[in-house]
């Protein structure tokens, strides 16, 4: 996570993990303008505001995966 001007930002990989999406899916959504999330480019990196990632997760109707990767599902099988 990066903090810029007091706002928490996630990298593409961090955002994808939190949304239960692949990095490729998130990149495709951004480049095809299918993602509702705003982003910034900082030193060549795409960063998503953490609040945007959380809001997008709610619209998808899925819980946020904890930071650091998606946990196992309740039945013990990884996602």
Please, what is the average pLDDT of the chain? 86
Q: Summarize the confidence of residues 1-25 as an average pLDDT.
A: 94
Count of domains for the chain: 1
Does residue 71 form part of some domain?
A: no
- pTM > 0.85: no
Distances (CA, A) of 20 to 7, 49, 67, 79: 22, 17, 11, 8
Q: Domain containing 43 — which CATH number? A: 1.10.1660
Supply the pLDDT for residue 60. Answer: 87
Single out the residue of 62, 17, 12 nearest to residue 37, CA to CA: 12
Q: What range does the domain containing 53 cover?
A: 2-60
pLDDT in tens, 40-76: 999 899 999 999 999 999 998 878 887 765 554 444 4
Does residue 68 form part of some domain?
A: no
């Amino acid at each position: 996570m990066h903090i810029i001007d007091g706002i928490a930002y996630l990298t593409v990989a961090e955002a994808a993990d939190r949304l239960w999406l692949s990095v490729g899916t998130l990149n495709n959504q951004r480049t095809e303008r299918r993602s509702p999330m705003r982003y910034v480019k900082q030193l060549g990196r795409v960063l998503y505001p953490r609040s945007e990632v959380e809001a997008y997760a709610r619209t998808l109707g899925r819980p946020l995966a904890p930071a650091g990767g998606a946990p196992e599902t309740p039945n013990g099988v990884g996602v």
